[in-house]
Every structure is written in structure tokens, then in C-alpha cells.
């Protein structure tokens, strides 16, 4: 087993050596600077987006990332990056919050552990160091605007839309675009920073009166996600034309009867995103075994998830919700699954993981696992690092069986 894993890792590393940024698109594929197909095999590294919910619920009680990537308080950044590289990942999706970009708090010793060079740095300066080390290792970085406020995602919270007012951090669409322009300019000389994942899981947003506010796709008003994404993408390209612009659909909407719907990328069929610079657009979707396919907020016990579906139903849902985009005649566009994952103890989710990885493999769809590590020594964690944060061990359990078949070159 150890020898076979070693051979897989060596093969992955050799395969990735030739990949050169910046990336572009050709039909349904990502391609590198040499016009070779780039198969995204990625993982998320959360923390700069925040670690706790903004209200009574909690996530990973006692963990505070201080708006910095999780794990740097315990392990050296270079060791974590080496683990990512040696496991064969070629992409790191890096979530952040808008609030973090403006945070002037200086890092303390117990926040950065063995990474003494991070002392007294602000969160964005810490992010700079992480990105530099990932780039030096030849790992592509996809920046992901995960939230407005520095809080854990996702629920019925203040981060469902890309703009809004709340007691933590107010933001307009213009300010959101300006933050992206700031990042595009900051990293334009680093070709390993490959793009902007514009916004995470657009969904109903909590208001001061608790009532939900929905996004739409193409109504030309303040809540038009299609328009906002297009404006942001074009503004980014003025400063950094090399970047991919990654656009998620509308993850969820809710009607007055509290019935939820899950449009995802269905609206692209009739109204695709059109950027001024071609061959830079990528669509994104997320999928988990617990992702709802049918739900009413007032009757959640009667909801259905992807885990409840048969293989045939899952494959049909993938195709109708987003997979079709890779096959549209004359306008095929890449789709990536920016988040998917489960814990080693989620054995009930094995059929879901099998079906999703088979679908992605059959349709040459890239992806990023959620997440690098979520909580140390926690059986329910979706993380794939060991407790010492120096080795990725997902390929040693049942999840690795499906991931190796999917991620093979």
C-alpha cells in the first residue's frame, strides 16, 4: 500500500511539472500557458474567511483563526505547503472575507506558532506570505471571496449576498468590486495566482428584520448577481487580464412560503456571463452529500439531500444543474466543483462520493476538496491532513479509493 501510494504521488508530481500559468479556457477545458490541458486537482485552505458563526450557533468551538489560514498556529507554513505539493494537488482555493482585507490587527505569537516571521503582520500580509510559499512550490492559487464579514460560512447569515448592511461590516457592490480590484493589482505580478472566485454560495441573506433577501440572475437591479459578476470580472481584467473569472450560480432562493429552490447554474443556458476578455470565464458549483435538493424552512425534516438520491437521480441532477454547460454547442465553458468533501466517518456518504467523482471524471471537471484541515483530532472533520499537519492522509482511507480514480492523470 505504501509503495503504491508513493508511486501515485511521484506520478502526480511529474505530471504537474509541465503546467505553466497563466490559465485560460478552450471550450470546456482549462489550458495553461503552453496550451496544455490543465486538470484542476485542488484543495481549500480555510481560515482567512473566519472561524465562527456571527450568532448563537458555533463552529469548531474554541477555534479562532484571527482571519488567517487555519493551522499556522501549530505548523510551519512551508511544511503544510510541502504536504499539499507531495500529495499531488496543483491548486489551492484560498477563501477570505472582505472584512479581513481591511483588518489592521497585528499577529501575536500564539496565533502564528512556529511562523515567527509572521509576527506583527496584518491578515492580508499573512495571506501574502502564504501565497508566496504556495507559488514558490508551483501550486496555483485561486482566491475565493468567501464572505463579507469574517465569519464561518454558510447559513442564513449576513453573507448570502455580495453587499449589505449589518453590525459587523457594511459593504456596497462598488466596495466589493474595489476589493477585487485591490487584489487583482496586488498579485498581478505573480502568475501563480490564477484567478478570482468572485463570491461563495450566493444565497438568501439575513436582514436586520430577519427577512431573507434573494439574489436574481439578470433582472438588472441591485440584487442581480449576473450583472454584478460581469461588472466585477471586467473591472478585474482592466488591471489583471491574466486572471480567470470564476462565477458560481445562485446556490439557493426562498419564496414567501419558505420553500427553497436551488437554481445553481441553470440560468446560464439562457443568459450566460459574457466578459470583455474572452477565454477567461469559468463557472463553479459546490456539492455535498448533505446539499438539499428539496426543502422548506418550516419543514426541514421532510427535506431531501443528494445523499437521499439514487445514482441515476444524482447523475441527472448534476447534468441538469451544471454539467450541461461543458457541452453547450458553440459555447461550452469549463465548470469546476469548488467544494466537495466528507469525513472519514461519513461512510453513509460513500455512494454520493463515488457518483460525484465518476461524473466529474467522465466529464473532465476539475475540483477542490473541502478542506485541508478543519479541526484537529475531530472524527467528523472533512480535513485531509494528519493531526501534525505535515502529511495528507486521505489516500489511506476509503475516500482515497474514489479520489485516486478521479484525480489520476
The CATH number of residue 39's host domain is 3.20.20.80
The whole-number average pLDDT for the span 201-230 is 92
Please enumerate, as own/partner, the contacts of 1-7 that have beta carbons within 8 Å and a separation of 24 or more: 1/396, 5/395, 5/396
d(CA 343, CA 371): 10
> Is residue 161 in some structural domain?
yes
Residue 14 confidence class, pLDDT cut points 50, 70, 90: very low
Q: What pLDDT is attached to residue 2?
A: 42
> Is residue 163 in some structural domain?
yes
Pairing of strands 24-26, 29-31: antiparallel
Residue 57 confidence (pLDDT) above 70 = no
How many domains would you assign to the chain? 1
Q: What pLDDT is attached to residue 378?
A: 87
The average confidence (pLDDT) of the chain is 92
> Is residue 219 in some structural domain?
yes
> Is residue 21 in some structural domain?
no
Residue 366 confidence (pLDDT) above 50 = yes
> Is residue 17 in some structural domain?
no
Q: What pLDDT is attached to residue 207?
A: 78
Most confident of 33-42, 58-67, 289-298: 33-42
Q: What are the pLDDT digits (tens) for 333-346?
A: 999 999 999 999 99
Q: What are the pLDDT digits (tens) for 60-80?
A: 566 889 999 999 999 999 999
Question: Under 8 Å CB-to-CB from 193, ≥6 apart: which residues?
Answer: 131, 135, 140, 141, 143, 187, 243
> Is residue 19 in some structural domain?
no
Where in the sequence is the domain holding 295, given as residue range(s)? 2-10+33-407
> Is residue 323 in some structural domain?
yes
Q: What pLDDT is attached to residue 344?
A: 93
Residue 56 confidence (pLDDT) above 60 = no
Question: Over pLDDT 90: what percentage of the chain?
Answer: 82
> Is residue 15 in some structural domain?
no
Q: Where are the alpha helices (DSSP H) in 69-192?
A: 77-86, 98-101, 109-112, 123-136, 173-186
Distances (CA, A) of 100 to 162, 300, 373: 15, 33, 20
Residue 159 confidence (pLDDT) above 60 = yes
Handedness of CA 315, 316, 322, 323 (dihedral sign): positive
pTM of the model: 0.94
Q: At 15, is the secondary structure helix, strand, or coil?
A: helix
Amino acid at each position: 500500500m505504501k509503495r503504491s501510494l508513493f508511486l501515485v504521488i511521484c506520478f502526480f508530481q511529474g505530471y504537474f511539472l509541465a503546467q505553466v500559468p497563466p490559465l485560460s479556457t478552450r471550450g470546456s477545458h482549462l489550458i495553461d500557458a503552453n496550451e496544455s490541458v490543465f486538470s484542476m486537482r485542488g484543495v481549500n485552505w480555510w481560515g482567512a474567511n473566519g472561524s465562527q458563526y456571527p450568532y448563537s450557533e458555533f463552529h469548531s468551538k474554541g477555534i479562532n483563526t484571527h482571519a488567517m489560514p487555519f493551522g499556522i498556529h501549530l505548523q510551519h507554513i512551508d511544511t503544510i505547503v510541502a504536504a499539499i505539493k507531495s500529495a499531488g494537488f496543483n491548486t489551492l482555493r484560498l477563501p477570505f472575507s472582505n472584512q479581513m482585507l481591511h483588518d489592521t490587527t497585528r499577529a501575536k505569537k500564539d496565533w502564528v506558532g512556529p511562523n515567527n516571521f509572521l509576527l506583527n503582520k496584518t491578515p492580508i500580509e499573512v495571506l501574502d506570505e502564504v501565497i508566496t510559499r504556495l507559488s514558490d512550490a508551483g501550486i496555483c492559487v485561486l482566491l475565493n471571496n468567501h464572505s463579507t464579514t469574517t465569519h464561518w460560512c454558510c447559513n442564513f447569515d449576513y453573507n448570502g449576498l455580495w453587499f449589505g448592511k449589518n453590525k459587523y461590516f457594511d459593504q456596497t457592490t462598488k466596495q466589493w468590486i474595489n476589493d477585487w480590484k485591490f487584489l487583482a493589482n496586488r498579485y498581478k505580478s505573480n502568475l501563480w495566482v490564477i484567478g478570482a472566485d468572485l463570491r461563495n454560495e450566493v444565497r438568501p441573506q439575513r436582514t436586520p428584520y430577519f427577512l431573507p433577501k434573494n439574489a436574481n440572475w439578470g433582472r438588472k437591479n441591485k440584487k442581480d448577481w449576473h450583472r454584478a459578476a460581469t461588472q466585477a470580472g471586467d473591472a478585474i481584467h482592466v488591471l489583471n487580464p491574466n486572471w480567470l473569472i470564476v462565477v458560481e450560480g445562485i446556490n439557493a432562493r426562498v419564496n414567501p412560503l419558505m420553500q427553497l429552490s436551488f437554481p445553481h447554474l441553470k440560468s446560464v443556458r439562457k443568459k450566460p456571463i459574457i466578459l470583455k476578455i474572452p477565454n477567461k470565464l469559468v463557472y463553479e458549483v459546490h456539492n455535498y452529500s448533505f446539499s438539499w435538493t428539496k426543502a422548506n424552512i418550516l419543514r426541514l425534516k421532510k427535506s431531501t439531500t443528494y445523499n437521499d438520491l439514487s445514482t441515476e437521480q444524482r447523475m441527472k441532477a448534476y447534468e441538469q444543474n451544471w454539467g450541461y454547460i461543458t457541452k453547450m454547442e458553440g459555447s461550452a465553458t469549463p465548470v469546476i466543483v469548488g467544494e466537495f468533501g466528507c469525513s472519514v466517518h461519513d461512510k453513509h456518504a460513500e455512494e454520493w462520493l463515488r457518483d460525484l467523482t465518476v461524473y466529474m471524471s467522465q466529464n473532465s471537471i476539475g475540483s477542490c476538496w473541502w478542506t485541508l484541515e478543519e479541526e484537529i483530532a475531530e472524527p467528523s472533520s472533512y480535513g485531509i491532513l494528519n493531526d501534525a499537519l505535515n502529511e495528507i492522509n486521505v489516500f489511506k482511507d476509503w475516500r482515497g479509493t474514489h479520489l485516486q480514480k478521479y484525480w489520476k492523470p
